[in-house]
Amino acid sequence: MAKANGSGRPSRLFRNLNAKIAAIPMILTAMVVFVGFSLWTVVYSFTKSGLLPRRDFIGLTQYERLWSNAKWLISIQNLVIFGACMLIFSFVIGFVLACLLDQKVRFEGVFRTVLLYPFALSFVVTGVVWQWILNPDFGFQSIVRATGWESFTFDPLNNGKIVMLGVVIAALWQGTGFVMVLLLAGLRGVDDEIWKATRIDGVPAWKTYLFVVVPMLRPVFITALVIVTAGIVKVYDLVVAQTNGGPGISSEVPAKYVYDQMFLNQNLGQGFAASTMMLVTVAIIIIPWAYLEFGGRKRG
């Protein structure tokens, strides 16, 4: 594996020393922040920490409190709704758009630029803009009403039952372009021969896409899936800017619960327990993927 062995060096440790020194920031980040900090939080989630972290271990009490807290239960429910909608819609729409753009479309660059620009924006910007567009008195609802359909009602941001729909609309606006670009890059990597072969066999294009190309793009799909899912679990700023968890607590999400407990309610133990649950959720998604990516096959 090692391409560059310094020959005749006395000790293994000093072999390739410069590279090891150069990698210190990476090693520190990996071991101290990613491993160390995470373990610290997990350990302290079993303590009674309030305003400051304390080492009074109280077993699973924080988790019992967490899972009987209405705000947390709603957060989890919202995350599931949000996550399912995001995955389904961003991938279906993203894939359809990628296929459309792959048809030797004129002005492809213009379309791509337009579909991706929201991805460059902050979630705060996205949240604020959609808060305004979905404003019942001036936004979408009032415009439809002005056309004569007086009873039209679409006011997700003030209706706890459908508030997550409003958040999903904003998140899709921002994120679908990203999925599309990844899939389009994958489509462009598909060999021309495949297209020639299926055309000679008289297979319709949509069938080729669905049954030949999609299986070929599996790695791209999986990568996109992992990135989008990890983003879903982290969703925070969008909700803060668009609804701030409201109306009431009906659009709370786990990341916001953690922040509120840690920095507003001075209830660190709850924050640690909730963030540990987020870690577990991500681990369930990531570990199988990481195993396939790093462990399952040999490199080089």
Least distance to another protein from the beta carbon of 84, Å?
A: 19
Residue 139 corresponds to which amino acid? G
Q: Does 182 bind another protein (CB under 8 A)?
A: yes
Q: How far apart are CA 117 and CA 123, in angstroms?
A: 13
d(CA 240, CA 195): 46
| Nearest approach, Cβ of residue 119 and another protein (Å) | 8
Q: Interaction with another protein in 256-285: which residues (CB under 8 A)?
A: 258-259, 262-263, 268, 271-272, 274-276, 278-279, 282, 285
Query: Shortest Cβ distance from residue 59 to another protein (Å)?
Result: 20
Max Cα–Cα distance, the chain, nearest Å: 87
Binding range to another protein, per CB under 8 A, among 54-62, 76-84, 135-143, 154-162 = 135-143
Of 4-43, binders to another protein (CB under 8 A) are 4, 12, 15-16, 18-20, 22-23, 25-27, 29-31, 33-38, 40-41
Site for another protein in 152-171 (CB under 8 A): none
Instruction: Choose which of 50, 53, 160, 247 interacts with another protein (CB under 8 A).
Output: 53
Place of tokens 């997700």: 156
Question: Would you say 107 or 161 has its CB closer to another protein?
Answer: 107
Distance (Å, rounded) from C-alpha 61 to C-alpha 269? 10
Restricting to residues 57-86, name those near another protein by CB under 8 A.
none
In whole angstroms, the minimum distance from the beta carbon of 49 to another protein comes to 9
Shortest distance, position 8 Cβ to another protein, whole Å:
15
Number of CB atoms found within 10 A of residue 84's CB: 12
| Position 109 contacts another protein (CB under 8 A) | yes
Q: How far apart are CA 138 and CA 193, in angstroms?
A: 53
Instruction: Give the helix ranges, DSSP H, for 69-191.
Output: 70-101, 108-116, 123-133, 140-146, 163-188
d(CA 39, CA 54): 15
When asked if residue 220 is in the footprint of another protein (CB under 8 A), the reply is yes
Q: Name the residue nearer to another protein (CB basis): 70 or 120.
A: 120
User: Of 61, 77, 89, 111, which one interacts with another protein (CB under 8 A)?
Assistant: 111
Residues in 223-252 at the binding interface with another protein, rule: CB under 8 A: 223-224, 226-227, 230, 233-234, 236-237, 240-241, 244
Please list the alpha-helical segments (H only) found in the chain.
17-22, 24-28, 38-44, 61-67, 70-101, 108-116, 123-133, 140-146, 163-188, 192-200, 205-207, 214-216, 218-233, 237-242, 254-259, 268-290
